[in-house]
């Protein structure tokens, strides 16, 4: 083996090759990096390069007596020492005595000390003087996985090379080269999965490949790889993501139970989910990174329609919950319970956000400012004699508002309708009106994903039997899904039920405009917050509430409207 055979450490190889060629080899080197990235291998190659009968040369022949003895670990001129078991001052003193002896057959004597960070402080101190002024025929090569434990006095006397983690693609290509030579049949996905499981270690990847071939033989299927590596089937991970999008906690629990029934590692499953969500966030921000993330076969997000319903903010919230759950799993005796509660939480988190976006929706024609519009509406509970009930955290009411259109948009692409002038109020005298919140709720009964797409639209026009909803460029996928024949017909039927008359539904692209526009969800959220504040203000000014607060020195925590059920006395 020579320098060109080293995988993934070109920055180290190039420097050492130039040093050998220019006869500028240092007297001490420190190789640091994670396990299995080639530290000891490069040290042996450097020993061959320095003691080859044709050298020193960056291309040792691998045939002379010196190269063969070094490769077999039988060379008297290359001493490989385990720092973990030879870490005392006496061991270092013996090294100081032997370095005075010249090389037996080669030109140099090389001391390769592996896991050098295990040396004691006294041993390091004993090595300092020798390391600073060694004999001309001696080269020290230290290898460590924990460079932070090396004293600075040692670091300053060495040339330090940091070995990098080997990229997944590089490991995959090397494994492909090996299986081709060995006539082993395995899919690219299987090789990629093996490379990922190695976590940047080429040595671990080769060990895993040997284990997989020993289990499956010369023909390796993907399920063989999953069995040996203990991977959770991808179908369960996709099912969990679908449950989150569909806001179905029961479905998510079924996935967790299925993982346990199959004997899967819950920590591993949770880690895979974290990786999936992270990949989705990256793809949302940078769609061109699909190939870089290696998701072409495992999780092809271009074909996952359900994922379109989740925004970057949604995914980041899910990511935070899952990573917090990872920490909890490390310190609990009931990992399955913790994962079950996390699965329920991520589903309800999206439910809460969507509910806030769908409820309290109001967009009125001929009004420039939604906030001003909602302020001019007369409060529905202002005439009530009873004070609203005061309680600890209880969900606020979900009032429904009849709305008709949103004029805050210019002409929409793909539509021949006249543009609505910016900054001007337009009043339509059309009897047609739609309760957007009710529309979203009814659509979500059978098709919750479709409802989550709908709240991202901007109402443009509701008149003369035409309902027009626009989507921005970054919601183009939502518009395409909504415009499908079956989806459009379903939403159109719900609109007809709400309006009591036949309507024509159009989904168009929102024209680019410098004036910001608000989606149905954003307008709904604003109105919800304003109504909650109005209800709180009315409660604080009520004489009975003021008397109780003043008498007991209390504070108002939460307010919810005491709705009178049908048939009950007022």
Does residue 93 share a domain with residue 203? no
Does residue 196 share a domain with residue 148? no
**What pLDDT shows up at residue 18?**
94
Residues ≥6 apart with Cβ < 8 Å to 284: 311, 312, 315
- Is residue 363 a part of any domain in this protein? no
pTM for the full model?
Answer: 0.56
Does residue 516 share a domain with residue 479? yes
Does residue 148 share a domain with residue 183? no
If you average pLDDT over residues 31-40, what whole number do you get? 92
Boundary (domain end) residue, out of 114, 140, 162: 162
- Is residue 120 a part of any domain in this protein? yes
- Is residue 24 a part of any domain in this protein? yes
Does residue 418 share a domain with residue 274? no
Does residue 462 share a domain with residue 313? no
169 vs 361: CA distance, rounded Å: 48
Query: Residue 413: is its pLDDT beyond 70?
Result: no
- Is residue 49 a part of any domain in this protein? yes
- Is residue 252 a part of any domain in this protein? yes
Domain count, the chain: 5
295: domain range? 234-356
Q: What string of DSSP letters covers 240-307?
A: HHHHHHHT-HHHHHHHHHHHHHTT--HHHHHHHHHHHHHHHHHHHH-GGGHHHHT-TTT--TTS-GGG
Collapsing DSSP states into helix, strand and coil, what is residue 417?
coil
Does residue 543 share a domain with residue 422? no
Q: How many CB atoms lie within 10 A of CB 300?
A: 10
Angle at CA 57, nearest 5°, toward 52 and 62?
45
Query: Residue 45: is its pLDDT beyond 80?
Result: yes
- Is residue 203 a part of any domain in this protein? yes
433 vs 418: CA distance, rounded Å: 20
Does residue 185 share a domain with residue 91? no
191 vs 220: CA distance, rounded Å: 10
What are the pLDDT digits (tens) for 518-570?
776 676 677 667 777 888 888 888 888 777 777 777 777 777 765 444 444 44
Does residue 326 share a domain with residue 449? no
CATH number of the domain bearing residue 333: 1.20.272.10
Does residue 533 share a domain with residue 507? no
Does residue 465 share a domain with residue 418? yes
Does residue 219 share a domain with residue 75? no
- Between 148 and 464, residue with greater pLDDT: 148
- Is residue 570 a part of any domain in this protein? no
**Dihedral pair phi/psi, residue 197, rounded to 5°:** -65, -25
- Is residue 362 a part of any domain in this protein? no
Boundary (domain end) residue, out of 229, 247, 275: 229
CA distances from 56 to 60, 68, 141, 143 (A): 8, 16, 17, 22
């Amino acid at each position: 083996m020579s320098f060109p055979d080293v995988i993934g450490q070109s920055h180290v190889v190039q420097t050492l090759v130039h040093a050998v060629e220019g006869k500028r080899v240092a007297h001490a080197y420190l190789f640091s990096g994670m396990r299995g990235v080639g530290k000891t291998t490069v040290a042996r190659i450097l020993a061959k390069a320095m003691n080859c009968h044709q050298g020193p040369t960056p291309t040792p022949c691998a045939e002379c007596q010196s190269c063969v003895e070094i490769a077999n670990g039988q060379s008297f001129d290359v001493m490989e020492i385990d720092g973990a078991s030879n870490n005392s001052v006496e061991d270092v003193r013996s090294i100081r005595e032997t370095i005075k002896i010249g090389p037996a057959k080669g030109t140099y004597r090389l001391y390769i000390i592996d896991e050098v960070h295990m040396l004691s402080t006294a041993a390091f101190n004993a090595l300092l003087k020798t390391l600073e002024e060694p004999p001309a025929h001696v080269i020290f090569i230290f290898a460590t996985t924990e460079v932070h434990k090396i004293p600075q006095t040692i670091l300053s006397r060495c040339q330090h090379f940091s070995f990098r983690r080997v990229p997944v693609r590089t490991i995959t290509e090397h494994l492909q080269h090996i299986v081709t030579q060995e006539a082993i049949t395995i899919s690219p996905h299987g090789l990629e999965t093996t490379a990922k499981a190695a976590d940047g270690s080429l040595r671990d990847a080769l060990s895993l490949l040997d284990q997989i071939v020993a289990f499956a033989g010369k023909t390796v299927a993907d399920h063989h790889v999953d069995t040996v590596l203990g991977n959770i089937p991808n179908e369960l991970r996709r099912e969990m993501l679908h449950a989150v999008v569909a806001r179905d906690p029961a479905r998510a629990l079924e996935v967790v139970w299925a993982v346990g029934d199959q004997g899967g590692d819950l920590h591993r499953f949770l880690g895979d989910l974290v990786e999936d969500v992270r990949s989705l966030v990256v793809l949302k921000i940078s769609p061109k990174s699909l190939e870089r993330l290696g998701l072409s076969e495992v999780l092809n997000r271009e074909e996952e329609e359900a994922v379109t319903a989740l925004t970057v903010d949604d995914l980041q919230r899910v990511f935070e919950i899952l990573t917090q759950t990872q920490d909890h799993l490390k310190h609990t005796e009931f990992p399955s319970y913790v994962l079950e509660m996390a699965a329920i939480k991520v589903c309800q988190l999206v439910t809460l956000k969507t509910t806030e976006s769908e409820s309290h929706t109001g967009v009125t024609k001929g009004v420039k400012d939604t906030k001003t519009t909602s302020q001019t509406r007369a409060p529905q509970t202002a005439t009530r004699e009873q004070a609203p009930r005061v309680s600890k955290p209880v969900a606020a009411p979900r009032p429904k508002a009849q709305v008709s259109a949103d004029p805050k948009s210019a002409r929409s692409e793909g539509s021949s309708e006249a543009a609505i002038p910016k900054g001007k109020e337009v009043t339509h005298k059309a009897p047609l009106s739609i309760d957007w919140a009710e529309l979203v709720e009814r659509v979500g009964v059978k098709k919750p994903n479709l409802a989550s797409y709908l709240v991202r639209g901007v109402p443009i026009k509701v008149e003369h039997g035409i309902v027009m909803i626009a989507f921005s460029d970054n919601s183009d996928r939502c518009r395409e899904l909504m415009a499908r024949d079956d989806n459009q017909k379903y939403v159109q039927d719900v609109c007809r039920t709400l309006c009591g008359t036949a309507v024509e539904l159009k989904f168009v692209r929102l024209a680019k405009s410098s004036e910001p526009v608000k989606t149905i969800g954003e307008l709904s959220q604003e109105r919800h917050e304003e109504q909650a504040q109005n209800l709180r203000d009315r409660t604080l000014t009520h004489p009975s509430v003021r008397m109780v607060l003043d008498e007991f020195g209390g504070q108002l925590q939460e307010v919810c409207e005491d709705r009178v059920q049908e048939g009950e006395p007022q």
